[in-house]
Amino acid sequence: MTQSSAPKNRESLPAGVWGVVATPFQGSTLDVDLDSLAELVEHYESIGATGLTVLGVFGEAAALTAEERSQVLETVVECTSLPLVVGVTALATRPAIEEVRAAQGIAGTRLAAVMVQANSANPQAVITHMDAIHRATGANVVLQDYPLASGVSIPTKALITVVTSCGYVVAVKAEAPPTSVAIAELSAAVGVSIFGGLGGQGLLDELMSGAAGAMTGFSYPEALIACVRAWQEDGYEAAQRELLPYLPLINFEQQAKVALAIRKECLRERGLIKDSGVRAPAAGFPEDLRTSMGTHLREAAAALENTKTPARSF
């Protein structure tokens, strides 16, 4: 396993799998389905997730009103005892502070950190942004590098500068391909947990590069949990055995432009949410993929059925 040479004397988010929670919608109105949300959150806790990430990109937070974001977070807090990372949608400082304060008002001590996107390629601009958030709120931060969502591409060396300068950063979520390269550089240079995302598509390589686990959504999160646990206990071969049966579904779910709709439809097929609707501007589920989705889901269900050792938390 890759060993980091980075200092370990600062607070860091616990290793494992932090499930990124979808926001279910119902019917043609696409109102938030809080009952399905509660069931999904309870499922994550029952299978041994380390924590949950709520109101992230996969949670369609940008398509929710402030009231809906509050309802989602209130429901999650009520339905699980897991620690929470709450996503911040705003890239500008003042509205980001308002989002963090709202999350703190609901989650209280359950809030492990807020997830703030890198909003500039200039590390000093990111430091200024996050320092202002931390001064105003005192919140710990997960720094997210996800150019597909933020529109910002920041060099890995700049990320290292930001994390080194900001002692309240407790993790980095690295989602700028090639993720394994960035994770290797980050894990060697900073003393906090580095997590992969992108549906677990690069998880094995990310773990070999020094990742602490995954912070992502996938319709079979059991597989991600089993993989990371196996890696920590027995190394690559064990982790590969756990993840291999699910790789076709992981790749299927991560198709560009329709990944969100595919994953929500897979969650619906599993019975974890009642409806799979997405809000604009996300694209809906392509019916031409129905047959192949069924094949991948059957394979994943069979793999889960053959798993004899239940997942446990880290």
Identify the pLDDT of residue 40: 97
- Evaluate if residue 6 carries a pLDDT over 70: no
High-pLDDT (> 90) share of the chain, %: 93
- Evaluate if residue 142 carries a pLDDT over 80: yes
Q: Read off the pLDDT of residues 295-305 as tens digits, 9 standing for 90 and up.
A: 999 999 999 99
Identify the pLDDT of residue 7: 54
**Residue 177: DSSP 8-state:** S
Q: Read off the pLDDT of residues 235-293 as tens digits, 9 standing for 90 and up.
A: 999 999 999 999 999 999 999 999 999 999 999 999 999 999 999 999 999 999 999 99
**Residue 168: DSSP 8-state:** T
Identify the pLDDT of residue 85: 98
52 beta partners: 19, 84
Q: Read off the pLDDT of residues 79-123 as tens digits, 9 standing for 90 and up.
A: 999 999 999 999 999 999 999 999 999 999 999 999 999 999 999
- Evaluate if residue 3 carries a pLDDT over 50: no
Task: Kindly list the structural domains of the chain, giving each domain's residue range(s) and its CATH number in brackets, ordered by start.
Answer: 16-244 (3.20.20.70)
86 beta partners: 54, 114
Q: Which of 95-99, 147-151, 168-172, 181-185 has the lowest mean pLDDT?
A: 147-151
Question: Comparing C-alpha atoms, which of 187, 229, 191 is closest to residue 210?
Answer: 187
Round to whole Å and give the CA distance between 79 and 194: 27
Mean pLDDT of 53-62: 95
Round to whole Å and give the CA distance between 24 and 91: 24
Identify the pLDDT of residue 1: 46
Identify the pLDDT of residue 307: 83
Contact 115, 58 (CB under 8 A): no
- Evaluate if residue 180 carries a pLDDT over 60: yes
The band of 2, judged by pLDDT with boundaries at 50, 70 and 90, is: very low
Mean pLDDT of 221-235: 98
CB within 8 Å of 4: residues ≥ 6 apart: 187, 188, 210
- Evaluate if residue 309 carries a pLDDT over 70: no
High-pLDDT (> 70) share of the chain, %: 95
| For the chain, the helix, strand and coil percentages under 3-state DSSP, each to the nearest 5 | 50, 15, 35
Contact 149, 117 (CB under 8 A): yes
The band of 10, judged by pLDDT with boundaries at 50, 70 and 90, is: confident
> pTM here?
0.92
The band of 4, judged by pLDDT with boundaries at 50, 70 and 90, is: very low
Round to whole Å and give the CA distance between 162 and 167: 9
Average pLDDT, the chain: 94
Identify the pLDDT of residue 9: 64
